[in-house]
Every structure is written in structure tokens, then in C-alpha cells.
Chains A and B, each alone.
Chain A
Amino acid sequence: MKKFLAISAAAGFFAFFAAVFLALGADWYRNKRAPDQPIAFSHKIHVGKVGLKCETCHKYTHQSTFAGIPSVQKCMSCHAQVATDRPEVQKLSGYWERQEPIPWNRVHRIRIREHVFFSHKRHMKADVDPKLECANCHGEVQYVDKLRRVSSLEMGWCVSCHVSKGASTDCLTCHR
């Protein structure tokens, strides 16, 4: 009986840690891992090597709450000629030929976003010194091939920046 108890206790002890690791792993897998995309688009090549500006493709950053995802036509405006021999670019031209939009997987998602009203425009035009850069929230995308979320996008993260920059922390600024 005693032996049984001891084994159970030991098993329970290790099982607890196993569960913790499993949970942490699951959390990473679910929330922090870079998702696979239908086309292995690389910000490293487009921003780091070619030197494109963010607004070239995400054209509404200064005009709307949405930053905007480029249309397939926008991609093809270069890739009709450029790097047409690469397998990933051929995937792109495949979408274009089939006249299908590309079903990208969302990387930046605010967890309770139905309660949060965020505006890209307001942040890009924010009157702070130094000016806010895309990289402040989205990371240095010019160094990574496969994009992943680097900021938690949780309220504490938002508020800490609002406090340090002297922006409003009134609830109605974001919730309404």
C-alpha cells in the first residue's frame, strides 16, 4: 500500500511538470509560432534585400484603421517579370492564372478584437518623438523569412506604451 502511494505521488509529481510543459508548448504552438502561409513569402527578401518600404504594399497604413494586404495584382505587377523561375513565385502566378485570391493566415490578431478599436492611421500619424515605426509593434521584419508575432498585442502591452508615450489611457480610447 505504502509503495503504491509513493509511486502515485512520484507519478503525480512528474505528471504535473509534464502537463505544465505541455501547456506551455501548446500555448507557443497556438499563439507564438509563425504560421505556415500558402506561399512562403519572405519579408527578408522584399524589405531587407530589395529595400521596399512597408507602405508600398500595405498602402493604407496612413489612411485607415486597416494597414491593407496587397492584392494579387500588386504582387504580379513585379512578379510577372521578376524571379519567375522560383517555385514560390510560380505558386503566386498559379493563383493569378486561376484568378484566385491568396488565403493568407493572419499573424497579428488581437484576442478580443471585437472589443478593441485600433487604428493604424492614428498610430502612424501620432505626434510623438521619435515617430512610431512599424517595427515598434511588428518587429524587424527585414531580418525574418517567416513572419511571426513578436508583441503580445494584449492590453498590458498596449497600455505600457500609451503610458510611456503620454497617450490617452481612457478606456473609451480603444473600447466603445
Chain B
Amino acid sequence: MNRRDFVRLMGLAGGATALNSCGLERQTEKIIPYLVPPDDGVIPGVATYTQTTCTECPAGCGASVKVVDYRAGKLEGVAVHPVNDGALCMRGQASLSRLYHPDRVQTPLKKDARGDFAEISWDEAYDMITTALKASSSQGFGFKGQKNTKTKNVFLSGRTSGTLSELIDLFCSGSAVERLPEFELFSYAAIRKANETLFGRAELPSFRIEDADFMLTVGADLFETFVSPVSHAAQFARAKKNSHFEWTHVEPHASLTGFQAKRRYSVTPGSEPYLLTFLLTKVSRMNVAGDRHIADVIEALPKLTDRGFAEKTGLTVEQLNGIAESLLSARKPLVIAGGVSTTQAVGFETALLAGLLQWAVGMIGSTVDFDHAENYDHVGAAGDVVELSSRLGENGIGVLFVSNVDAAAGSQATLGLENIDKAGLSVGLTEFMNDTMRQCDVILPLSDTLESWGDAIPKRGLVNVIQPAVEPLYDTRTTGDILLQLVGRLTGNTPAASYQEFLFAKWRSRYGRQSVETLLVDGFLRRPTTRTAVNLDHLATRRRLRSLKITDAVAWPILMVTPSIRSFDGRSGDLALLSEIPDPLTTITWGGWLSISQADAAEKGLEDKDEVRVASSEWTAKLPVKIQRGLPRGVMMVQCGSVKPVPLSIDPRSGGVIASLEGVSIEKTAMSLAVPIMSGSQSQEGRKIIPEPSHGGERHHHDPEATLYPDNVYPEYRWGLVIDLNLCIGCGACVSACYVENNVPVVGPEEHLLGREMSWLRIEPYDAKNDHVEFQPMMCQHCGNAPCEAVCPVFATYHNPEGLNAQVYNRCVGTRYCANNCPYKVRRFNWYDTKRPSALNPTRNPEVSIRGRGVMEKCSFCVQRIRSARDVAKDRKSKINDGEVTTACAQTCPTKAMVFGDLQDENSEVYRWAHSERAYRVLEPLGTSPGVHYLRNKWKNDHA
């Protein structure tokens, strides 16, 4: 081709391109108004809030749903709620995406001959079920009084409470269906069984941490998954503000909760009963509670010298005596045994002795509250499912209902619900397909909590409302509506036209009209409880203790299967956001891992990410290793739901699970795996990022505020955030809230492996002395003299007149100079346009830009919230008052460890905190003058 041809062709191509891009066709965009506007007073673009209940775990936190244009956009805790007091945990925040999850079951399904599911109508589904139920009863099966008949219809459900529980009873009694105890993998069966033995009450009391002045926790992961984590965290924060509060945590493994305690001791796994026996012996000698018979009751317990107890437990004599002393000198002590300590071979003994200790020291009725016991009334134990499996195997079940249960959750081979296909007809009621549901013949899709009416009674004396925030997205029903339909079709007589009507009738008769109004508006209702005396059954306890055999032969090494703060018992694993958020202890995001102790790692020559083969007699898996500080030698951990299901066994005494495998072997393979560990290093490199509590006011060699630039002037506000490390428990609720509020993309494991995480806010674990780990939330520090601003060539980031380090996305050209110059490493770069499932679009916050490829982003101090607060303030022609605007992280913090506000307002909370003598700023000597202050922890690091 010669030059001329080339030029000619180029001209042609260029012209064609230019004409194409001009395109004469106007890109029209439609505006479709309402045909008939709804008369509910909803103004387009203006948010309303609906009070309901979070159902991600059984704790029963109140959730307030932000609804804009009929779309649920964010969950917040219900203010002054007795359980969560305005906060939500990481899982609660993420549970919004359950509603819009693309994998939801959308219509009733029926399994065909080939095992595939085909859509059917609700009528067809109801007909199949009623026909099967009628057939089984016409054969004479399952009627009351005919207990000898072999075949029965059964109803297995996940934990329910309140009116739904009543309705299930109504349905079961009227339709010849046997209601089974409800299924929870972690049902606290050992504790409930122990309390039944001791006090004749198979209940799980609530713990009043805020009233205690000394707390001893044995294995209980209070802030992660144990019963009511947000409530525990909130109470802990209130207790810790009291300067007399002391907390000793004893655990056989390493947990996030443990690292928050004032003193954390590692106990030999399986030796917790010895620790409690030691304390009981001391208590009985001191005769604190005035129960003179305690000594008699415990006479059968092993009698060892102090040194003997120390050897058994792995603690020193001084440590043991220290605990006993604190316990005996405390005015209002509290002992909680739970978590891994009650889901092991000696879990029942641990729970029993802890209950006895609670009685002996007089905690029952004071810090251990049976009057407001947690509602596990209908919950059975994991063992019930094993029994059901064997009944199914004997062809003993006609119609099987499985409602809202993944009994195969973590599907432990010896525990999972098996033989479902042997039932005459198996009916699954669920929102998502899972291993249990896939075995059912008919699937009835359930509405999400945010689309449903209902109520919940998480504990005695409290009723929560569940009310719909949005219209149902798909052809789904609530469990209540399904049962009412079935009752109607079977008996020709429906108790109510809809579950909503049924509920309101029940509520009115139970609480009265006035209180129903309160319930709907506030989201909860306190109910009077009857004070009942809890008394120790001395004889039964003594008899039980005599037959108690504390087996202390643990086969090493031991593998503990713990519930996870991110996926609980595995059920929250459906939510991608929770895989994206790092596990607070290890900072691992996607995939499973095996935590091993430093000692074991050194012995086996293992490093982080090395692959090992873990094997017990019935289970084997290949997993990457993560070395965990604080974990004792011979103890390993995996998290429920993140690894190949581990076969768990059942404790025959309580029916609860034994979530550990003994005598496992680990063997190093030649591989090193790609594991997304987000923390580059857990060392502070001497930079005093979290300074020692004792060191106040370090002196710098130069004035850190000295600058060549003109001083910043803030005419109206200087926004600032203060984080109290005394209260922060590293739970990561703030991280989850930030993701949801700010449309932060979920980018997946491949990007994480390249170090390209997008979280604006992260929890950094740092190694401290004595095997301790400290946690610090880190986000954009909104520096007064920000290193990022000076290097931006296009002025896309600058310091605004309100003290915000602004990032203008449509100005950013993606040089990434700012991220390189940021000493806090908080800036995130969009390497790609993140593709989200379009079903999740409604969860996007319409107040925040979606950032495209090639753009830098970071924490904005929730500027959209500042703007809307200003909007409200301007309407009344005043400034924004203190407390009117807060960031998403601060709002959801279970311990209220964060305060946001105007640093120039001397009457503001944030001003008081920032001028506390504990206040410091990270890397202050650099002269960045951050707008984020931290407060030092009050508890000195005296862990051992």
C-alpha cells in the first residue's frame, strides 16, 4: 500500500467513525409516571423506615429498614431496642441482600421422575399436600391415640417463636401431624440440659453483663455467635465504662472475644470441668452464697491440690487463685460457660459445673436471669435429626414437612438429615435451595422477612414485630399463610383469611389495641414477666455429680469446629458480602483454612498458606494453614461452613453436637496455596499505631503540625470521627455497614489475591506482646494536610471547607499517585467495572455514585448523610446539631465505640472524646493532622 492509499483509507475510516458517533438518532430516555399514584403518602426519593426483626440468627435484634421508592436499601438497628440498642452485627447488615438474592426460589417446585424441579402452581402444590395428608390419615396413620401406628406425618422446622409457633401447633394438632423439636445446629443443648438437671428448668438464661463487676467466661464467644452477640457487646461496652469492671476469659482455643478480655488464659481442652471444680471447691470453703449444702453437693467431685488443678488445666496456681479471688471478692460476679467449651466431649460437665457455680456464688437472679430466659422453648437438639433420619429409614414417615431448615447445614455425615426421599411426600419450605431442600419432593418458596408479617419472641418479656418493608418480589408466601391455607383446605374452615389477619387478631387479644400500635411503631413491646424462684435441686445434683465421669484423656491434636462470626453455623454463607469481608482474627476473606498454633507450625515447619492434609478416622481434607497467635499447642480450628463438612458426633446426654475431632493428624504437602490474607503484616513495626495504654502524650522531635501550606479554615464545621479502642471489639459490623451504605463493590477472590480489596473500612489485627492481638478500625483519616491531595494532578482529591478529604470520581483519571502517597493505605482503585448481579440493583444506595473502572475511591465520612442532614437543617434554617448526622459505621457499632460530629463544636460528643487524655492520632509525627482520633484502651495488656 502506498502513502496515498493509506491516507485515503484513513480519511474514509475516520469520517465513518465520526458520522457513526454523531448518530442522528436521539438517545431518548423515557419518563414513565404513575397511572394512579399510591395514596400512602410516599414521596419519590424520600426515605421511610419500617421496624421489623432481623432473622439472620436467632438473637432477635430489632431492625429498621430504610425504604426509598419501595426498595429496601439499608438495615439499621432499632434505637433503644432491648436486645441490640440501635446496632446490628456484620451478618445483620449483610442480610439485606438475602431479599434481592438472585438464587431465591421464586415459585413452587415439584420434583419430577428424573429428579429435576419443575414449576407448579400453588394450587397444585396445596392439592398434592392435602391429598397426601388425607391419604395417610384415611389409612389410620398418625391420629392421636393411635400411637402404635408406625407411619406418621411430621413437621420439622427451624427455630420459631411467637404466633408462628402457635399456628404450627394449631396446624399439627388439626391435621394429624407430629411436631418435632425444632432444629438448630448450635442449640445450647448442654447448657439447657445442665440447667434442667440443676434447677429443673431446661432453659438458657440471659446474662446481664452490664450489671456484673467481675465476669469469668469459659469458652463462650460472646461477641461472635454465642446466643445474642450484639446484646453482649452492647452490655460489655456499658460495663467497661464502669472502672471496677474486670473480665477474665478462659478458652481452649483462640477467639476474637478472648482477645477483648482483660485477662485471657489458655486452658487445656477438656479440662474446663477441673477449672470449675477448683472454683467450686474454693467457693464452698468460703460459703459465700450461704448455701451450706454446697460442700455436700460437690463432695463427689475430684479433690486435687491447687498444684493438681494447675497441672490438669494448664494454668498456673497463681492464675487459678487469681480467678478465685476475683470471683469471691466481686460484688456481682458472672460466670458464663459456652461456645467450644460446651460443644466438646465434656461440654455437658462444663455446663453443669458452671451452672452450679452460678448458683453457689449467688449469680442466679442477679446476673444470670432466668426470668428473661432466651426463647429456646421449642428447640430440640441436633440429636433429634439423627433420630428422624432413622425413622425415615424405616419407612416410618408419611408426609414430611421441612420448614426453613438446612439440617444438612455444614452437612455433617453423621448429623445430616438423611433418607428424606423415603418419606411418602417430603415438603420443603424455604427461601433458598440447599442440600436438605434438594431432596424434597415439593418446594414451597417462602417470602423473605422483609416481605412478611410476623412476630418474634427472642426472650421472655419481649415481643418483636416483623412487618413487610416491600411488596413480595416473587410468587412466594409466608409460612403462616401456607399453614392457614392447608388448615383451610383440610378442614374446610380457615381460622383467618391471611396470616396478617390471624396475627392482628392474636395481638389484639393478647396485648390490647394500644399496645399493638406501640408494637408496630416502636418495633418491639416489653411484656411483664413473672418472677419465679430458681432453686437448686440438691439431691438430683448430688446424684448426678456422683455419676459424673470427667474424662480428661483428650487425644491430641484436637480439631475444633467453631461457628463463624461471618457465616454463623454456615447459614449466612449464601451472602457473598460476608465472604468479601475479612475474618477479623485472620483477615482471610474467600475460602476456608486451618488455624494452627505457632508452636505446631514451628514444629512441622509450616508457614501461612502451606497446604496440609488433615485427617481423622472418618474425615480428611486438604486445607491451607494460617498461624494463629494465642492458640495453644495441639489445638487447631476450622470454621463451620467454610470447609468441607466435618462429621460431628452427638453427645448422648444432652443431644447437642460435639464440635471437635480428636486425634487428627496433619501432614504437610508440597503445595502452598493462594489464600486471600488481607493483612500484609500484623506487626506494627514500632510505629505505635496502637500505643501502649500507659504511654500518654509522646513528645515529638519536631512540631507535627508545622506546614508550608496555609492553615485550613473551617467556616462552619470540621467533621471528625473518634474511635474508642477501649470499646472496639473488632467485630467488623462497621465494615459490613460501610459496604452496604456506600455501594462498595464485591470483587471476589481473584482480585483479593492480587491485593485489590475494595473495602473503605477495615479491621486491622496487630500482634502485641504475650501472644495478644489488638484490633483497630482503619479508614480514610481525612487529614488536614493530606499527602494524597498534593500529588493529584487533576485536583480530583482536595480538602474541603468542612474538613473532608473529598474524592471527586468524575474528575479522577486514575493515576493512583494518591494511593501510593497515602501512609494509611486506605485508598482503593477500581481495576474493572464491577459486575453485580442485576437482581441486587435495588440495594444500591441512590445517594452515592457507582464508581467506574479507573477511578480511585475511599471513605467519604458518609458525605451523603452529611448532605441530607444539612438539607433537613436548612429547612429549619439552622446548623446541623450534634448527633443529627452519623456515619454508617458509627451507627451500627454494637459497642458505640465510634462518635462522629463537628470537632469545632465544643459542646459536641466528638469534641469531648477528641480532647480526652486518651486521644491520639495514628502516625501523627508525619504531620498529616488527621480528622480521625483514636482513644487508647484503658486495659493494660497483662495477658499471659
Contact present for B867 and A170 (CB under 8 Å): no
CA distance A151 to B436 in the complex (A): 61
Tell me which residues from 34 to 56 in chain A have a Cβ below 8 Å from any Cβ of chain B: 35
Is B509 on the interface with A (CB-CB < 8 A)? no
CA distance A26 to B18 in the complex (A): 11
CA distance A74 to B35 in the complex (A): 9
Q: Mark B847-886, 1 if CB is under 8 A from A, else 0.
A: 1111000000000100110010001001101000000000
Contact present for A102 and B33 (CB under 8 Å): yes
Shortest Cβ gap from B901 to chain A (Å): 18
Contact present for B32 and A101 (CB under 8 Å): yes
Which residues does chain A contribute within 8 Å of B804, judged by CB atoms?
Answer: 172
Is A150 on the interface with B (CB-CB < 8 A)? no
Is B810 on the interface with A (CB-CB < 8 A)? yes
Contact present for B810 and A170 (CB under 8 Å): no
CA distance A117 to B23 in the complex (A): 28
Is B34 on the interface with A (CB-CB < 8 A)? yes
Shortest Cβ gap from A32 to chain B (Å): 10
Contact present for B806 and A172 (CB under 8 Å): yes
Which residues does chain B contribute within 8 Å of A27, judged by CB atoms?
Answer: 22
Known: A170-B801, A176-B849. A106 touches B809 (CB 8 A): no
Contact present for B810 and A176 (CB under 8 Å): no
Contact present for B22 and A71 (CB under 8 Å): no
Contact present for A101 and B808 (CB under 8 Å): no
Is A99 on the interface with B (CB-CB < 8 A)? yes
Is A146 on the interface with B (CB-CB < 8 A)? no
CA distance A33 to B27 in the complex (A): 12
User: Which residue of A has the minimal Cβ distance to B875?
Assistant: A125
Shortest Cβ gap from A20 to chain B (Å): 11
Q: Mark B15-40, 1 if CB is under 8 A from A, else 0.
A: 10011001110111111111111000
Which residues does chain A contribute within 8 Å of B43, judged by CB atoms?
Answer: 60, 63-64
User: Which residue of B has the minimal Cβ distance to A175?
Assistant: B808
Is B322 on the interface with A (CB-CB < 8 A)? no
User: Which residue of A has the minimal Cβ distance to B852?
Assistant: A114
Q: Which of B30, B848, B860 contacts A105 (CB 8 A)?
A: B30
Known: A22-B22, A73-B34. A30 touches B27 (CB 8 A): yes
Which residues does chain B contribute within 8 Å of A114, judged by CB atoms?
Answer: 849-850
Q: Could you say which of B26, B811, B847 has the most chain A C-beta atoms within 10 Å of its C-beta?
A: B26
Is A122 on the interface with B (CB-CB < 8 A)? yes
CA distance A114 to B15 in the complex (A): 31
CA distance A112 to B850 in the complex (A): 12
Which residues does chain A contribute within 8 Å of B849, judged by CB atoms?
Answer: 114-115, 175-176
Which residues does chain B contribute within 8 Å of A173, judged by CB atoms?
Answer: 867
Contact present for B36 and A103 (CB under 8 Å): no
Contact present for A115 and B30 (CB under 8 Å): no
Contact present for B28 and A60 (CB under 8 Å): no
User: Which residue of B has the minimal Cβ distance to A63?
Assistant: B43
CA distance A23 to B19 in the complex (A): 8
CA distance A5 to B218 in the complex (A): 95
Which residues does chain A contribute within 8 Å of B864, judged by CB atoms?
Answer: 117, 176
Q: Mark A88-130, 1 if CB is under 8 A from B, else 0.
A: 0000000000011111111001001011010101100101000
Shortest Cβ gap from A130 to chain B (Å): 18
B interface residues, how many (CB within 8 angstroms): 44
Shortest Cβ gap from A109 to chain B (Å): 6
CA distance A114 to B845 in the complex (A): 12
Is B553 on the interface with A (CB-CB < 8 A)? no
Known: A115-B809, A171-B806. A104 touches B847 (CB 8 A): no
Known: A115-B809, A125-B875, A172-B863. A64 touches B32 (CB 8 A): no
Contact present for A72 and B33 (CB under 8 Å): yes
Is B1 on the interface with A (CB-CB < 8 A)? no
Tell me which residues from 5 to 20 in chain B have a Cβ below 8 Å from any Cβ of chain A: 15, 18-19
Which residues does chain A contribute within 8 Å of B848, judged by CB atoms?
Answer: 176
Which residues does chain A contribute within 8 Å of B533, judged by CB atoms?
Answer: none
Contact present for B29 and A26 (CB under 8 Å): no
CA distance A73 to B875 in the complex (A): 31
CA distance A175 to B806 in the complex (A): 10
Is B800 on the interface with A (CB-CB < 8 A)? yes
Which residues does chain A contribute within 8 Å of B860, judged by CB atoms?
Answer: 176
Is A143 on the interface with B (CB-CB < 8 A)? no
Known: A29-B24, A114-B850, A176-B860. A64 touches B45 (CB 8 A): yes
Q: Which of A106, A119, A172, A176 contacts B31 (CB 8 A)?
A: A106
Contact present for B33 and A69 (CB under 8 Å): yes
Which residues does chain A contribute within 8 Å of B605, judged by CB atoms?
Answer: none
- Tell me the interface secondary structure of chain A in the complex: loop
Is A70 on the interface with B (CB-CB < 8 A)? yes
Q: Which of A35, A60, A73 contacts B26 (CB 8 A)?
A: A35
Which residues does chain B contribute within 8 Å of A99, judged by CB atoms?
Answer: 35
Which residues does chain A contribute within 8 Å of B19, judged by CB atoms?
Answer: 22
Q: Mark B807-820, 1 if CB is under 8 A from A, else 0.
A: 01111000000000
User: Which residue of A has the minimal Cβ distance to B871?
Assistant: A122
Q: Which of B35, B806, B809 contacts A72 (CB 8 A)?
A: B35
Contact present for B811 and A103 (CB under 8 Å): no
Is A68 on the interface with B (CB-CB < 8 A)? yes
Contact present for A175 and B810 (CB under 8 Å): yes
Is A84 on the interface with B (CB-CB < 8 A)? no
Is B46 on the interface with A (CB-CB < 8 A)? yes
Contact present for A66 and B36 (CB under 8 Å): no
CA distance A3 to B405 in the complex (A): 88
User: Which residue of A has the minimal Cβ distance to B29?
Assistant: A106
CA distance A99 to B24 in the complex (A): 33
Contact present for A71 and B33 (CB under 8 Å): yes
Contact present for A170 and B30 (CB under 8 Å): no
Is A160 on the interface with B (CB-CB < 8 A)? no
Known: A72-B34, A99-B35. A112 touches B863 (CB 8 A): no
Known: A105-B30, A106-B31, A176-B848. A73 touches B36 (CB 8 A): yes
Tell me which residues from 67 to 84 in chain A have a Cβ below 8 Å from any Cβ of chain B: 68-74
CA distance A127 to B870 in the complex (A): 14
Contact present for B811 and A171 (CB under 8 Å): yes
Is A6 on the interface with B (CB-CB < 8 A)? no
Contact present for B36 and A72 (CB under 8 Å): yes
Is B766 on the interface with A (CB-CB < 8 A)? no
CA distance A21 to B28 in the complex (A): 23
Tell me which residues from 129 to 176 in chain A have a Cβ below 8 Å from any Cβ of chain B: 170-173, 175-176
Contact present for A171 and B808 (CB under 8 Å): yes
Contact present for B28 and A19 (CB under 8 Å): no
Tell me which residues from 13 to 31 in chain A have a Cβ below 8 Å from any Cβ of chain B: 19, 22-23, 26-27, 29-30
Shortest Cβ gap from B93 to chain A (Å): 21
Contact present for B871 and A33 (CB under 8 Å): no
Is B680 on the interface with A (CB-CB < 8 A)? no
CA distance A166 to B26 in the complex (A): 36
Shortest Cβ gap from A149 to chain B (Å): 12
Q: Which of A74, A105, A121, A176 contacts B28 (CB 8 A)?
A: A105
CA distance A88 to B439 in the complex (A): 59
Which residues does chain A contribute within 8 Å of B871, judged by CB atoms?
Answer: 119, 121-122
User: Which residue of A has the minimal Cβ distance to B867?
Assistant: A176
Which residues does chain B contribute within 8 Å of A63, judged by CB atoms?
Answer: 43, 46
A-B pairs with lowest CB-CB distance, top 4: A71-B34, A69-B33, A115-B810, A26-B22
A sample of 9 cross-chain residue pairs with beta-carbon separation below 8 angstroms, ordered by A number, consists of: A35-B26, A63-B43, A71-B36, A73-B34, A102-B32, A114-B849, A171-B811, A172-B808, A175-B849
Residues of B within 8 A of A (CB): 15, 18-19, 22-24, 26-37, 43-46, 798, 800-802, 804, 806, 808-811, 847-850, 860, 863-864, 867, 871, 874-875, 877
Residues of A within 8 A of B (CB): 19, 22-23, 26-27, 29-30, 33, 35, 60, 63-66, 68-74, 99-106, 109, 112, 114-115, 117, 119, 121-122, 125, 127, 170-173, 175-176
Given contacts A115-B849, A170-B800, 18 further A-B contacts (CB under 8 A): A29-B26, A33-B26, A60-B43, A65-B45, A70-B33, A71-B37, A73-B34, A73-B36, A99-B35, A103-B30, A103-B31, A103-B32, A117-B867, A121-B871, A170-B801, A172-B800, A172-B804, A175-B810
